[in-house]
Amino acid sequence: MTTASFSGMDSQALTYGKMTNSQAGLATASSVAIASRFVVQFSVGLVTGKINGKLSFSELTNITSEVDPAEYYHSSTTGVTLSKQFGKTKPATVTLKRGMDDDASLWTWHQGVLDGDPNARSTSCSLAMYDTQQNPKAQYYLYNAWPSKLAVDGLKAGASDVVYTTVTLTCDQIVFVPTGAQSTGAAS
């Protein structure tokens, strides 16, 4: 039997039989990650010189990791069976947004990609999420990351709006490291 109680909209008020939200696998107010800033740290050894960057972002638009399904046909004495298997892996992407400032490290890194520099992939790139007290909430390692897209938004003559830089980082693999876990990743 499913029962629901909405008195005061308490995060523990909704119950499924005798289970709490957390027991039912639902997020509670205390378990939801709230991030106030996102920090990308990278190191790239371009032909034109080494870039070490540590940039703060105000918005994490998305993290995407995707595998296409592939159809597999198997024939036996009982007939033909169709099943879905793991297919081609698409490159993982991370899209972030920040106010534009005078730090040119992101633009220099992107220019290395545009120039076809073989060293433009960062072997040391991490993304960290921090809460309002600046405590780390989550960390991701981005292997062989590079800025595939860089955009500037919000430019209007005479306006006093914030100008934003949006970057899409493409990488071979994204690895999530839970808060408090010991890391063996390449980035730091």
Please choose, from the candidates 186, 188, 44, 41, the residue with its C-alpha nearest in 3D space to the C-alpha of residue 109. Answer: 44
126-167 tens-digit pLDDT: 999 988 888 888 899 999 999 999 999 878 888 888 889 999
More confident residue, 3 or 160: 160
Cα-Cα-Cα-Cα dihedral of 13, 19, 20, 22, to 10°? -150
Residues listed for the chain = 188
Domains and CATH numbers, the chain: 1-32 (no CATH), 33-177 (2.30.110.20)
Output the pTM of the full model: 0.71
61-83 tens-digit pLDDT: 899 989 999 998 888 888 888 88
Are residues 114 and 169 in contact, defined by beta-carbon separation less than 8 angstroms? no
